[in-house]
Structure 1
Amino acid sequence: TEQIHRFAGLGVGLASVAAEHVLSHPCIVLRRQCQVHHDSKWYHLTPFSLFQTLYYMHRHQSLTSLWKGLSSSLMVKGMQVASETVISEVTPLPREITRHSSIKKVAQHLLLKGLGFVVTCPFYASSLVETVQSEIASERPGLFDCAREGLARLRSLSTPQVTRQLPIWKVLGPYVLYGTGYYILSSMAQYTALVSLRTDLGEEQSKSPAMTSIYYPELIATFTGCLLADIAMFPFETVLHRLLLQGTRTIIDNTDTGQSVVPIVTRYEGFVDCFKSIIVDEGFAGLYKGFGSLIIQYACHAAILKITKVLFDAITNQMKAPRPVIPTPRPSMPAPPGFQAGHEYPPHIPQPKLH
């Protein structure tokens, strides 16, 4: 049983990573393309308007085009984890906290997260370009192009500004605020959901813990935290992506038709100017362009969780099923002396003793 639980825990971790990063990546690609398409007529606030765009994109491009930028996205995630690990080793900043941690320790932990976002900011910008650029109008990037372009953008701090591309120090603040805010919201929602789910299970489940009650609440809590954080930070993300993409000469797929490409040409001066321009030119709904893709992403994630729960229940029932009892053969008694096969002997009746 312990070995089964160990493999189940590993499976849960792999399934969570796959659902969060790999399987949801096509929806992230569509969402980001809609967010940075400033001249689009269709806002794709619901999933239904995206189906036609997906159909034509599939006809004109390969299906694998929806996974463009996946390697660079995973690289940025790895750099974030690696940078936090290194900083926590050379500084007293804690890498993990609990609900019993002091306010000072929580603040130090958030500072560590912020420093990690500072390190990965230029590489996140280059990964964003790989995610949204059309494969029709550009070549597929190499494996290490994300790192090279990130270093080039970092070197641009010491060079004069000759394009509309914003210097990295101008987008560094919004990116750190976005990353830290997303982490705080998702962590709070995840903790609240996990406590609520474990409380609802009651003492009955704690007496006979099943795989569903052990692992499934964590999956639901992670799903809830990411969903609420994505919804709350969606307008912030829209503004941030437009700032990071400005001046990069990126050409994206036309999200209105899915049959052509459009260049990204914007002139935002900073975060506040970009936010005001979106409200004036595109309306408040312009901050939520591509929200329908987010709905598709979490609908698919919810379906994966449902399948996972069914598998957990099946494994639990299999472990609880009673095993058939195999009767143990009784040892045969030795035959009495003078016994011959085929003869019957009357039972021995003891005679009373006479006194």
Structure 2
Amino acid sequence: MLISIYILLPPTIICYLLKQTISEFIYSLVSCLLKFKELWKQQRKYCIEEEKNFYLYKINKIEKTSKLIGFYTAEMLMYPTETIMHRLYLQGTRTIVDNVESGSNNIVPILTNYQNITDCCELILKKEGRSGLYKGFGALVLQIILNFILLHVDNEWNRNNIL
């Protein structure tokens, strides 16, 4: 028996709201810490009065960095929950996965029939272990790395063009 989309809707909304809350909390915390660190560095140098452009550049850099850290911290913390939700969404569809772990070119069909969220979680842990909740996590890590590289390039470009 498949789970109705109406039953999956409340947990999906809760998952999304929780992820947004975590992201905003981490963003606020990191932003506050980085701004405090920057202010402390300025006071140690006895040069609180800086050019306006440089100050705006620093604030912009802190805001972007804080936003990315908050967003990806929430993504990493909620990854197992999202894995469970995605498995519930896809159940009943004939999902085909390449079996790259064994090194062969086999294609493995996956047919699942979960009864509820806890059943899905228990079956993943029983059949695949804890690593089953983190399948595909490498793609998120790659996305994080690429975004921080782009952030660094953007910061360097802004610094060279603004200052």
Residue in structure 1 matched with residue 154 of structure 2 by the alignment: 308
Deviation of 1:283 after TM superposition, in Å, equals 0.8
Residue in structure 2 matched with residue 245 of structure 1 by the alignment: 90
1:186-222 superposed Cα distances (whole Å, 9 cap, x missing partner): 0000111111111222154664232421311111011
The one-letter amino acid of 2:31's match is: L
Separation in structure 1 between the aligned mates of residue 149 and residue 162 of structure 2, nearest angstrom: 20
Separation in structure 2 between the aligned mates of residue 201 and residue 281 of structure 1, nearest angstrom: 49
Residue in structure 2 matched with residue 281 of structure 1 by the alignment: 127
Do 2:2 and 2:115's aligned partners in 1 also have CA atoms closer than 8 Å? Answer: no
Do 1:166 and 1:243's aligned partners in 2 also have CA atoms closer than 8 Å? Answer: yes
Percent of pairs with identical residues: 26
Do 1:205 and 1:213's aligned partners in 2 also have CA atoms closer than 8 Å? Answer: no
Deviation of 1:242 after TM superposition, in Å, equals 0.2
1:306-349 superposed Cα distances (whole Å, 9 cap, x missing partner): 101110110133xxxxxxxxxxxxxxxxxxxxxxxxxxxxxxxx
Q: Does 1:266 align with 2:112?
A: yes
Distance 1:181 1:221, change over 3 A: same
The one-letter amino acid of 1:251's match is: T
In structure 2, which of residues 51, 54, 70 is the aligned counterpart of residue 225 of structure 1?
Answer: 70
Separation in structure 1 between the aligned mates of residue 129 and residue 68 of structure 2, nearest angstrom: 30
Do 1:252 and 1:261's aligned partners in 2 also have CA atoms closer than 8 Å? Answer: yes
Separation in structure 1 between the aligned mates of residue 94 and residue 57 of structure 2, nearest angstrom: 46
1:145-189 superposed Cα distances (whole Å, 9 cap, x missing partner): xxxxxxxxxxxxxxxxxxx43201221222112101101100000
Separation in structure 2 between the aligned mates of residue 302 and residue 289 of structure 1, nearest angstrom: 22
Separation in structure 1 between the aligned mates of residue 36 and residue 75 of structure 2, nearest angstrom: 26
Distance 1:206 1:220, change over 3 A: farther
Distance 1:303 1:253, change over 3 A: same
Residue in structure 1 matched with residue 20 of structure 2 by the alignment: 183
1:222-254 superposed Cα distances (whole Å, 9 cap, x missing partner): 11011110111011011000001111x243441
Distance 1:231 1:178, change over 3 A: same
Q: Does 1:196 align with 2:33?
A: yes
Unaligned runs of 5+ in 1: 1-163, 318-355
Do 2:24 and 2:70's aligned partners in 1 also have CA atoms closer than 8 Å? Answer: yes
Deviation of 1:291 after TM superposition, in Å, equals 1.4
Deviation of 1:285 after TM superposition, in Å, equals 1.5
Residue in structure 2 matched with residue 208 of structure 1 by the alignment: 51
User: Rg: which structure is higher?
Assistant: 1
Aligned residues: 153
Separation in structure 1 between the aligned mates of residue 115 and residue 26 of structure 2, nearest angstrom: 34
Separation in structure 2 between the aligned mates of residue 258 and residue 227 of structure 1, nearest angstrom: 33
RMSD across aligned C-alpha pairs, in angstroms? Answer: 2.1
Which is helix-richer, 1 or 2? 2
Deviation of 1:259 after TM superposition, in Å, equals 5.6
Separation in structure 1 between the aligned mates of residue 49 and residue 115 of structure 2, nearest angstrom: 56
TM-score, L = length of structure 1: 0.40
Separation in structure 2 between the aligned mates of residue 205 and residue 270 of structure 1, nearest angstrom: 58
- Which secondary structure state, in structure 2, belongs to the residue aligned with residue 233 of structure 1? helix
1:235-292 superposed Cα distances (whole Å, 9 cap, x missing partner): 1011000001111x24344162696654331011010000011111111111111111
Do 1:253 and 1:259's aligned partners in 2 also have CA atoms closer than 8 Å? Answer: no
Distance 1:255 1:303, change over 3 A: farther
Separation in structure 1 between the aligned mates of residue 76 and residue 104 of structure 2, nearest angstrom: 25
Separation in structure 2 between the aligned mates of residue 250 and residue 295 of structure 1, nearest angstrom: 28
